[in-house]
Structure 1
Amino acid sequence: MTERRRAARSSTRDLLVVAAIGAFGAVLLILLVPVTTPLAIVAPPAYALVVAVPATAIMIARRLVPRRLAASGAALVMSVLLSVFTPIGILAAIPLLAQGIAIDAMVAALRSRPSRWLWAGLVAGAVAFAIALPVFGPHHLTAGWLLATAAARLVGGAFQAWLSGALARQMPGRLAAP
């Protein structure tokens, strides 16, 4: 069945899988809050690399549930759960939802290309960098910090594409997606 036909149907199973993956990603991020909070202040490039791991859940949701808004749905679930447990509250929704929308858009736009996942990860990383830029402290607004953080976001996006692919290939039967 083509992705377009599959995306047109809404199934409870697909929604539950997306929600479960989003919840798992939120739990990972919540567990990392004691590490990510100081990292965001002291070393934005390290923060970008650390948060790439749990944010991979967004891309995994899109790979395992080939529906147009699967990544955005997982990001929404992550955002709602994180809003209670993180210092920034519901503001966590902005970068997560933006990454989910970027992943959904890139995968849909490049659906026939094998490199669509890599491009989706790179664009999601660029979007996350652009969103984080206004909250950088003045001491991090130097060329070195900015380049290092942008590179870390892109590396994180490429890592998300690789890890989500590796995990998707390990999924049994119906859960696996190309």
Structure 2
Amino acid sequence: LGLNVVTLAFANGECGSENWGAGTTISNVVSIINTLVAAKKKYIISTGGENGVFTCSSDANFLKFIKTYQSAYLIGIDFDIETSQTRAQVDSLVLRTKNAQATYPNLRYSFTVSSFAKSTGGDPFLWLGGQVLNSIKVNGLTNYLINPMTMCYTELSQCVVSGGTCDMGASANQVAKNLHDYYSIPYSK
């Protein structure tokens, strides 16, 4: 394993009784984690994804979720929010994160959301990304990272164009600039 950090994806369903899809069990994931730990490799647990929804309605179950995958090599939890989470479900994830930070202050908590890289500036997110940022602000979460998803652009108007195609590197930089300018979020977030 020549990688610095491995992301294990995607946990879905309700935290504390989550599933991993495709016949993968929690025991399978824990076994993978044990292999990573033996190799002294850091890892991130990612939830949601394009085809899944991760929810968490209680602090106790979120702490249980983290504890299931916890080791000295766990560096963070990522919420990949791409589908149909409701405002209440997003708020619940943000609140669970805020409350879990008292128990797990050294973990990195990130929110991956779909984005656009319009060179004209403006809001870089679809409605769900804006909803996530609003929930973070309203609920007072301060220790977090935003991971704008800068891929899967279906139209040239959604990205920075170079030579008639989307320039992914320039698009990623533009999303960061738009996020900073539109939402006043520091580049460090």
TM-score by length of 2: 0.28
From the two aligned structures, give the one with the greater strand fraction. 2
Which entry has the higher C-alpha Rg, 1 or 2?
2
Larger helix percent: 1
TM-score, normalised to structure 1, is: 0.29
Highest relative contact order (Cα 8 Å, sep 6+), 1 or 2? 1
